[in-house]
């Protein structure tokens, strides 16, 4: 990505058309791949929901794979470009038989970073919105919350570091490392420009610690953040884990506008 200086010549069309390009010209918003997340703290809540209601939020030709919902509440402590911020990713198992692909579809995402919102929407097609995710130890419990419009739409708890966990157990519930998204972008004249199912995997994942135990999950209705449409039927376990990982380019699995 070209770097702006006072003495820099005018930008070229080739630079504009190169991968990783972003605006504004003199202070780009979107980080180019790859970029790293270091010492991220994550509280992952798991629960069973209603498959019929889950399927209503899943775009075809993706198919539902199970009844387990994951809510990742991230405390991003050190991220290239973005700095420290909070993020929450609500996802559940899905598959795309035509591409022989399985993973997790993100129905809702909330961040405290404007650059993170822009990157997720512009590049991956993730349904990101501004919100206030928070993760902290409150006495003898991990407490994760997600707020939007001044309302705590998600509250989750896990006992503080009582039982060692294994991230492989979490992955066996839902392969969350492979993330599906519906990317939708229009041309300026209102006609469809991009309609795709995209996929990306986290790489270079190093887990520093992992703890597991029973969790509580509370969802509160909000019309601008309708996670409540994935109702809690049975609370399962939560995982507190701390890790490093890298975000790299993904793939287009399905192109709705393709020939």
Residues belonging to the active site:
128
User: Smallest Cα–Cα separation from 55: which of 96, 92, 110?
Assistant: 92
> What whole-number distance in Å separates Cα of residue 73 and Cα of residue 232?
17
Distances in Å between the Cα of 248 and the Cα atoms of 31, 36, 186, 205, 222 are 11, 9, 25, 12, 33
**DSSP code for 17:** H
Number of C-beta neighbours around residue 57 at 10 A: 16
Tokens of residue 136, six digits = 């902290």
User: Smallest Cα–Cα separation from 145: which of 194, 195, 75, 96?
Assistant: 75
Tokens of residue 127, six digits = 């349904």
> What whole-number distance in Å separates Cα of residue 184 and Cα of residue 172?
30
């Amino acid at each position: 990505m070209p770097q702006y200086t006072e003495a820099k010549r005018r930008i070229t069309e080739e630079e504009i058309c190169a991968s990783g390009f972003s605006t504004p010209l003199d202070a780009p918003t979107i980080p180019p791949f790859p970029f790293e997340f270091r010492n991220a703290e994550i509280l992952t809540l798991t629960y069973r929901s209603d498959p019929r209601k889950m399927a209503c939020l899943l775009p075809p030709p993706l198919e539902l794979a199970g009844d387990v919902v994951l809510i990742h509440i991230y405390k991003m402590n050190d991220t290239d470009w973005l700095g420290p911020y909070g993020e929450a990713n609500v996802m559940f198992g899905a598959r795309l038989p035509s591409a022989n692909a399985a993973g997790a579809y993100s129905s809702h995402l909330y961040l405290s970073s404007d650059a993170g919102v822009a990157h997720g929407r512009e590049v991956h097609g993730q349904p990101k919105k501004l919100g206030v995710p928070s993760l902290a130890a409150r006495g003898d419990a991990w407490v994760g919350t997600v707020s939007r419009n001044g309302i705590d739409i998600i509250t989750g708890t896990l006992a503080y570091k009582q039982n060692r966990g294994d991230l492989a157990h979490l992955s066996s519930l839902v392969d969350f490392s492979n993330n599906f998204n519906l990317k939708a972008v229009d041309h300026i004249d209102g006609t469809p420009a991009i309609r795709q199912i995209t996929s990306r995997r986290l790489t270079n994942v190093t887990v520093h610690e992992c703890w597991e135990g029973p969790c509580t999950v509370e969802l509160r209705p909000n019309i601008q953040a309708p996670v409540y449409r994935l109702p809690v039927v049975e609370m399962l376990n939560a995982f507190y884990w701390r890790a490093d990982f890298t975000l790299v380019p993904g793939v287009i699995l399905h192109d709705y506008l393709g020939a």
